[in-house]
Structure 1
Amino acid sequence: MKDKLIYGIQQIGVGVDDAVRGFEWYGTRLGADACIFDDDNEATYMAKYMGGQARPKRAILAMNLQGGSGYEIWQHTGRTPLKMESPLDLGDLGINIAKIKSIDIQKSYTRLKNLGVEFRSEIVTGPDGKKSFYIQDPWDNILEIKESDNWYNVQKHDMGGICGATLGVSDIEASLKLFSNLLGYDQVIYDETGTFEDVASLSKGTEKFRRILLTHKNDRTGGFSPLLGKSEIELIQRLDSKPKKLFENRFWGDIGFIHLCFDIKNMKKLVEECKEAGFPFQVLSNESFDMGDANGHWGYIEDQDGTLIEFVETHKVPLIKKLNFNINLKHRDPNKPLPNWILKAMKIKRVKF
């Protein structure tokens, strides 16, 4: 295969101070109760973003199997992870918000209220006409719960997984070279400048912004694409005040959204294209790297503001560890989705809390 494929957003990294507690919170509140891998090892390749040395860590990939992307719940285990010195202001440079799918926005709102989740807004309507509301997790990460009609396998839960992210950027036009040109978010849902009622309850949300919401015209193909589903990227540029960098003077893996990760095919081609586009890889693993019981080839680039974007070419995902039964993607037709029975069999990865 000569071309790269972007299968979709695989996960957003969520830096916490307790990975087990993080998995439980995301599992019980947001339905992300499938543990795809649990990696308790040393982070070596990312040393340049962790003070120049390898660091022990624990990472749990949690997914909601009704459809959508996952959460890589990530904890430094050899040091106390740092919070930001001051809370996030909308439009700060980095991943501001994870967008999460809801089947029934009112039902999700009521259920989360009853669970005592901290809310950042009432139900609002965005520039795209979709209803949503904002909450935050126990580590102050902001989550947008947004109505969606894009699903894989609806069961009993009112929510799915991640369907996108909002990134604060310093120059939207520069960001489009990465997200639109390179990563295939080629459809503009809206591009508006002004003040916006739907984000007014967030810190600095009453200031003037340029906001552009992108998605992809064509459905993604191959591998886990039916499960990951359609996704969107919102780029937001604050115009009234200077934004701060969310990970200034902190390590990768500290508290907050630490990276946006895409599931891909043909890492070698992607490395070439990123370099040509002015976004060279800063970190690249060996071609067969173990992530707990999973295996793949991964690496990181930075956007123009230093936000880390990860790419993973998945080779193996364990399904039944005791029987050494794995989902092997390395030699499959890259354009062909996994059989439905295999995707549905992932329900054995679900955990009861």
Structure 2
Amino acid sequence: MGTQINGIQQLGVGVTDIQEAFAWYRRYFGMDIKMFEEAAMAELMLPHTEGEPRERHAILALNLEGGGGFEIWQHTGKKPEYPAFELKLGDLGIFAGKLKTADVQKAYNYFRTLNLNLLSGITTDPEGKQHFYLKDVYNNTWEVCSEPYVFKKQKSVTGGVYGAVIGVQDMEASLPVYQQILGYDRVAYDVSGQFDDLQGLAGSEGRFRRVLLRHSHTPDGAFSPMFGPSCIELLQVLDRQPRSIYEGRLWGDPGFIHLCYDINGMDELREEVKERGFPFTVDSARDMDTFDMGEAAGSFSYIQAPEGTLIEFVETHKIPLVKRLGWSLDLTKRKPGPLPRWMFSLFSLMRVK
């Protein structure tokens, strides 16, 4: 059958205070469904944590408007370290998270009334779609993008994760990871120059090559209806030498730590990425049938793209449905295909107000 990519499950966001962060993202971005919370030791991430297991605390938060979730992540065994330099557009790795909204103007007006740190007005990207940028309280940059797909209308003006803006060193070296492994086979635009719609972002006065990638197909995994469509914008700065966003720091330190995809077919994926020259750097399924995350379980793996971006793959085995009754869903015992919509409605029982 091969590997099936079902959509962006979550964007990892490293923070300094996990409860404060969950409250902030819940209030401003509508990420109010707490799928799981766990404090534990990150024992399998040694290639990205200087060879040492690291204590951490993580919360997976979702927004029923649709889109991927946030894996809010805090080092608890060491002091989380911010970058020692100002991040600039084109620096290597995940520079910005993309959030979806069905109404860009409404989202902009709402965030402006809340006095959030808006970096720009509403502008138009090279695809002709409206968007704007803002920073959260942790200095992370977010792009709010126009996307009409709504899974379940909520009070929130934005949905969940729609994709990411990723700085690359060499566009041609990085494209195969996103086009071939992640299946973003449609080029929405590939343009070079200076761009007015990037104004307000640090380093935006430079010259760039921008490539926006989309899927030409609609995924049909168990959670695909909630994840919805996604896109990836790769951005190569042409007139300066970029720096690695995680230079001198560890995975899990503040910022965007990884981009995670829900998949089926971990064993097939292991062979595919190895053949393409991007073998797993972390592979939970190599040593155990399933990885227990407390309220959820599954297998996970990572690859590293040429520019340094960590991409996680999760094959979900179990998720909580009604925590107070101890109900969970065993995905290993159901036929492939999307979950019924009524089942997603149970997620609302995990809403934190």
| TM-score (normalised: structure 1) | 0.97
1:66 alignment counterpart: 65
Distance 1:196 1:249 in 2: 30
> Is structure 2 residue 346 aligned with structure 1 residue 345?
yes
- Give 1:27 deviation, angstroms: 0.6
1:248 alignment counterpart: 247
- Give 1:107 deviation, angstroms: 1.4
Q: Partner letter of residue 221 of structure 1? A: D
SS in 1 for 2:59: strand
**Shift >4 Å, 4+ stretches:** none
SS in 1 for 2:22: helix
Distance 1:52 1:240 in 2: 35
- Give 1:211 deviation, angstroms: 0.4
Distance 1:92 1:231 in 2: 22
Whether contact under 8 Å (1:295, 1:314) holds in the other structure is yes
Distance 1:216 1:47 in 2: 32
> Is structure 2 residue 226 aligned with structure 1 residue 213?
no
Distance 2:3 2:47 in 1: 27
Distance 1:282 1:233 in 2: 22
Q: Which whole-Å deviations, capped at 9, do the CAs of 1:174-211 have from their partners, x for residues lacking one?
A: 11111111211001100001111111221111111000
Q: Partner letter of residue 351 of structure 2? A: R
Alignment of 1:146-165 (within 5 A): 146-165=145-164
1:21 alignment counterpart: 20
1:194 alignment counterpart: 193
Percentage identity across paired residues of the two chains: 47
Whether contact under 8 Å (2:121, 2:132) holds in the other structure is yes
- Give 1:106 deviation, angstroms: 1.4
SS in 2 for 1:21: helix
Q: Partner letter of residue 252 of structure 1? A: W
Distance 1:48 1:57 in 2: 16
1:291 alignment counterpart: 293
> Is structure 2 residue 182 aligned with structure 1 residue 180?
no
- Give 1:263 deviation, angstroms: 0.4
SS in 2 for 1:252: coil
Q: Which of 312, 326, 329 is the matching residue for 1:327?
A: 329
2:74 alignment counterpart: 75
Whether contact under 8 Å (2:96, 2:141) holds in the other structure is yes
- Give 1:292 deviation, angstroms: 2.8
Q: Partner letter of residue 290 of structure 1? A: D
Whether contact under 8 Å (2:65, 2:151) holds in the other structure is yes
Distance 1:172 1:13 in 2: 23
- Give 1:121 deviation, angstroms: 1.0
Distance 2:281 2:7 in 1: 21
Q: Which whole-Å deviations, capped at 9, do the CAs of 1:112-151 have from their partners, x for residues lacking one?
A: 1222211111111111111111001111110001111111
Distance 2:297 2:35 in 1: 12
Distance 1:292 1:18 in 2: 21
Distance 2:181 2:50 in 1: 30
Distance 2:323 2:101 in 1: 32
Q: Which whole-Å deviations, capped at 9, do the CAs of 1:59-80 have from their partners, x for residues lacking one?
A: 0011111111011000001111
Q: Partner letter of residue 156 of structure 1? A: K
Q: Relative to structure 2, which stretch is displaced further, 154-163 or 6-15?
A: 154-163
2:222 alignment counterpart: 223
Distance 1:332 1:238 in 2: 46
Q: Relative to structure 2, which stretch is displaced further, 114-123 or 250-259?
A: 114-123
- Give 1:321 deviation, angstroms: 2.3
1:140 alignment counterpart: 139
Q: Which whole-Å deviations, capped at 9, do the CAs of 1:251-273 have from their partners, x for residues lacking one?
A: 11001100010000010000100
Q: Which whole-Å deviations, capped at 9, do the CAs of 1:306-337 have from their partners, x for residues lacking one?
A: 21110000011112223221122113222x10
Whether contact under 8 Å (1:126, 1:198) holds in the other structure is yes
Whether contact under 8 Å (2:322, 2:346) holds in the other structure is no
Distance 1:107 1:182 in 2: 35
Distance 1:48 1:245 in 2: 17
Count of equivalent residues: 350
Whether contact under 8 Å (2:64, 2:154) holds in the other structure is no
**Structure 1 gap segments, 5+ residues each:** none
Q: Which whole-Å deviations, capped at 9, do the CAs of 1:33-89 have from their partners, x for residues lacking one?
A: 110110111111012322221111100011111111011000001111000011210
Distance 1:174 1:221 in 2: 29
Whether contact under 8 Å (1:40, 1:292) holds in the other structure is no
Q: Partner letter of residue 349 of structure 2? A: I
Q: Partner letter of residue 309 of structure 2? A: T
Q: Partner letter of residue 223 of structure 2? A: F
Whether contact under 8 Å (1:319, 1:325) holds in the other structure is yes
Distance 1:309 1:149 in 2: 26
Whether contact under 8 Å (1:195, 1:208) holds in the other structure is yes
Whether contact under 8 Å (1:16, 1:22) holds in the other structure is yes
SS in 1 for 2:191: strand
| TM-score (normalised: structure 2) | 0.97
Alignment of 1:91-106 (within 5 A): 91-106=90-105
Please provide the CA RMSD for this pair: 1.0
Distance 1:139 1:60 in 2: 16
Whether contact under 8 Å (1:133, 1:144) holds in the other structure is yes
